[in-house]
Amino acid sequence: MPSIKIKGMNCQHCVASVTDALQKIAGISEVKVVLEKGEATFQTDKPVADEVIRQAIKEIGFTCE
């Protein structure tokens, strides 16, 4: 499963925002965000460009490493 590191999350509200933003991206499903690790894992049904993910995370105020 692909995973990404996300900076700036500090509560379950952040986790919910990130989960929601990732789930909205076409091709991404089964998003799991672990606050303690600052990490999100997900399934891809089709290839998703890194840049699309980075942009979606950036739009809600977090940073992808």
| Site for Cu ion, rule CB under 5 A | 10-11, 13-14
Nearer to Cu ion by Cβ, of 6 and 25: the residue is: 6
Nearer to Cu ion by Cβ, of 42 and 62: the residue is: 62
Nearer to Cu ion by Cβ, of 13 and 46: the residue is: 13
CB 49, min distance to Cu ion, A = 27
**Residue-by-residue DSSP string for 2-54:** -EEEEE---SHHHHHHHHHHHHTSTTEEEEEEETTTTEEEEEESS---HHHHH
CB 32, min distance to Cu ion, A = 17
Token readout for 35 is 């606050």
